[in-house]
Structure 1
């Protein structure tokens, strides 16, 4: 009859993914009447969603503290990571195609230098 609720073992649902820093940020935004997204960093430079794939994007992703991201920022982080992976995959495919197209020349060149005189 009087079922006493059992204490939760850890956080469940969306709260499980939120670090204390994110919860604190969202609370401060709510109290100040601000949107839940951090709009300040958008004014400081190129946002991750608009950063071109390449070395700068890789640097920014590697230096990001995932624990401090809001859920929306984490989503943008994942999308930026996917763009970087696709860009790197394209570079790899171009390099393999270039290597394969020049393979006969390399084989002939090494046969001339190592073959019978």
Structure 2
């Protein structure tokens, strides 16, 4: 069955073709878009609020990423999801680096409830 000359039109069949890389949710979405005569990407969510690609890093972006069903994303949406996750990770890294720098700073204020000298 791997011989292209034995396949109709020379195209791969079944799970050997392009459908292998797509989740059932993506295939279902693309089929519904095709039947409805809509573009192969979900444009409705652009009208409903801030898209993941434009959401500012922070708690809201983290919540949206955590609640997203990755299996149902189209390839374009999955790309936007990955980029948003990367932005969130970079933002979290900057927060961590800032906190570490503050902790290691010689001008760091004394921690409340603790004494600055060892004799107390």
Alpha-carbon spacing, 1:98–1:36, altered in 2? closer, same or farther (3 Å): same
Match of 2:59 among 50, 55, 58: 55
Q: Is 2:65–2:81's contact at 8 Å kept on the other side of the alignment?
A: yes
Give the equivalent residue in structure 2 for 1:20: 24
| Structure 1 residue 15, shift from structure 2 partner | 2.2
Q: Which has the higher contact order (CA 8 A, sep 6+)?
A: 1
Whole-angstrom distance in 1 between the partners of 2:108 and 2:45: 52
Give the equivalent residue in structure 2 for 1:89: 93
Provide TM-score, normalisation by structure 2. Answer: 0.77
| Structure 1 residue 104, shift from structure 2 partner | 7.3
Q: Is 2:102–2:108's contact at 8 Å kept on the other side of the alignment?
A: no
Q: Which runs of 4+ in 1 moved over 2 A?
A: 10-17, 102-106
Whole-angstrom distance in 1 between the partners of 2:31 and 2:90: 36
Query: How much is the aligned-residue C-alpha RMSD, in angstroms?
Result: 2.6
Whole-angstrom distance in 2 between the partners of 1:85 and 1:36: 29
**Counterpart check, 1:11 vs 2:15:** yes
Q: Which runs of 5+ in 2 are unaligned?
A: none
Give the equivalent residue in structure 1 for 2:70: 66
Q: How many residues align?
A: 108
Provide TM-score, normalisation by structure 1. Answer: 0.78
Q: Which runs of 5+ in 1 are unaligned?
A: none
- Structure 1 or 2: more helix by fraction: 1
